[in-house]
Amino acid sequence: MYSGQCHVGTMQPGHLHCQPGAYSQYRLYQWPVSSVPIPMSHPAGLQPEPVPSHSEVGGSGRCPPQRAAPSVLTATSMYSGQGHVGTMQPGHLHCQPGAYSQYRPYQWPVSRVPIPVSHPAAPPAHTYNNAPMVRLPEGFHQNLQCVGIINGEPVFTLPAGVFPPSVPAAPQLNTSNSQEKKCESEQEDDRLYIKRPPNAFMLYIKEHRPHVEEDVKMMGNGAVNMVLGQRWKSLSAEERAVYYQQAQREKELHAQQHPGWSVRQNYGKKRKRESKRAPKASKRPSVLPVASTSLAAVTEDSTSRAAVTEDSTSMAAVTEDSTSRAAVTEDSTSRGAVTEDSSCSSVYVSDIYHLPQENSVSSASWLHVLLTAVTSLSSSAGLTQSPADERIWSYTK
């Protein structure tokens, strides 16, 4: 199940079971479905908007926003002429990249997969954090790794770097400015920083913090965590097991996406100042003047407890969500999907779009990029196909 392969046959439509937690039904309800229709045919005559300049993206003299990824032409800018794709925002997607949901964007090295600017009528695409999402003609997916199923259709990923050098890259930014060089350096450092996967408790507090914050608004974040710690301890073994399993999946997924990575690499990267705190034994206050009252109220409040219990009812959905690498689906007619992988640029393979020949020039150009990428991938990477299910492809770096 978690060996990196996609057991399509075990999946339920609308769920990403092959990449645990990659999909959230809960998140689906937050997706502005009606606002993001996917055109069923190629919108002809769409003109790409110019790639924003550095100053446009990040303002003068400042590091561009990490999500801006100025070297990548986003689907928003490419296809804003139709389909309201331009309304897609990370916030809409609510992609909490899962274990990586709170990972910084630099951990999604999508910027290494530049999308050529010169494709005025490229196939409809989606992005998440600038990761291009496109649909390929049937048969193209054979050399790609399936990462899940959305609306009954397989979602594949395309490892970063497989795009051929011939792919025209986005304009290079002027890096003569020393501050920009510094920004580049910082961003490079950021990209190299891989956060550790969350443990079970981290997953728990991430899910339940909003509820606790509502209950005890007057408390600081530290006190909220104390409450969460109490609630965590009050959970049954079965309830906690859900999070342990989820954390295990996160860890395995993290290991797949970052082979060779160790928490050791992060040591010192977030080193705290010399602690002014008392030794750990006396660090925790036995009683917090304010928090203790609230804590007692929260703990004893049957309503709150009921709320927490009810939360666990929806836990199943949310549980899968919290690892969510980002999965978005749209209405059943357009059946779009967005997925995101920390090490891959995502490609949505589907036979819905048979690339129209009337757009042969631009589409062929666009297609060439993908074809070359897939070919490059299959020829250079250690792709293996599951003997049990031909839809299963594993990509080993």
Q: Which residues bind DNA (CB under 7 A)?
A: 101-103, 195-196, 198-202, 205-206, 209, 220-223, 225-226, 228-229, 232-233, 240, 244, 247, 251, 262-264, 266-277, 280, 283-285
Q: How far is the CB of 129 from DNA (least distance, A)?
A: 15
- To DNA, the closest distance from the beta carbon of 233 in angstroms equals 6
Nearer to DNA, 7 or 196 (CB): 196
Q: How far is the CB of 192 from DNA (least distance, A)?
A: 12
Separation CA 319–CA 274 (nearest Å): 36
**What is d(CA 275, CA 289) in angstroms, rounded to the nearest whole number?**
23
Nearer to DNA, 47 or 234 (CB): 234
CA pair distance 187, 164, nearest whole angstrom: 24
Integer Cα distance of 196 and 7 in angstroms:
26
Q: Least distance in Å: CB of 204 to DNA?
A: 8
- The smaller minimum CB distance to DNA, of residues 84 and 196, is found at 196
Burial class (CB in 10 A: 0-12, 13-18, 19+), 269: exposed
Minimum distance between the CB of residue 255 and DNA, rounded to whole angstroms?
A: 8
Separation of alpha carbons 99 and 87, rounded Å: 26
Q: Identify the three-state secondary structure at position 135.
A: strand
Inter-helix orientation angle 302-313/315-322, to 10°: 70
Question: At its nearest, how many Å lie between DNA and the CB of residue 246?
Answer: 11
Partners of 159 in the beta sheet? 344
d(CA 292, CA 133): 49
State which residue, 173 or 228, has the beta carbon closest to DNA: 228
C-alpha neighbours within 13 Å on the C-beta side of residue 132: 29
Q: Give the residue with the Cβ less far from DNA, 273 or 300.
A: 273
The nearer residue to DNA, 272 or 300, going by C-beta atoms, is 272
Question: 19 or 101, CB closer to DNA?
Answer: 101
To DNA, the closest distance from the beta carbon of 117 in angstroms equals 32
Question: What three-state secondary structure class fits 132?
Answer: strand
Q: In whole angstroms, what is the distance from residue 195 CA to residue 209 CA?
A: 21
